Amino acid sequence: MAKVILVFGSTTDNTEMLSEHVVAGLERGGAGVTVKNVTEASVDELADYDAIVFGCPTYGEGDLQDDFVDFHDEMDGIALEGKKAAVFGPGDSEGYPDSFCTAVDILEEALKKCGAEIVTAGFKVDGEVEPAFEDAETWGLKVAKSMQK
């Protein structure tokens, strides 16, 4: 069973709600999942897991959620070779078309820079998250299955 850590940042609870459905998919795919709010997580513990999943909304003109900023900065220089990774997050293409879900892209790049392998395209949710719950679970299942290869 793959050990997965899912680290999320959530100001309005949207990313936390999406996380619950991603976790359901991961578990359905046979993964053992530890879930942590980014405020309670440490970059040092990422190395203890087979896979890393981040959930982070995009704010303003393409910024990480506030709680994720320091965590992202602390990732610089850590070694995640051999780790699988994936990222999801909500955004608003109507209000911010040029920076829609760029937090997902920023975190994918950080993970790759640390040596992790991105196993599937980032899951980007536009607007309200409730209609995307089933898709979030399906995406989590896809992530879990990609770790079995």
Can you tell me the mean pLDDT for 120-142?
97
Q: Report domain 3-146's class.
A: alpha beta
Query: What's the confidence (pLDDT) of residue 50?
Result: 96
The CA distance from 135 to 53, in Å, is 16
Query: What's the confidence (pLDDT) of residue 149?
Result: 61
Beta-carbon contacts of residue 59 (< 8 Å; ≥ 6 apart): 11, 65, 66, 103
Query: What's the confidence (pLDDT) of residue 61?
Result: 87
Query: What's the confidence (pLDDT) of residue 148?
Result: 77
Q: What is the pTM of this model?
A: 0.97
Per-domain boundaries in the chain: 3-146
Task: Locate all alpha helices (DSSP H) within 50-95, ordered by sequence.
Answer: 66-74
Provide the pLDDT confidence category of residue 42 given band limits of 50, 70 and 90: very high
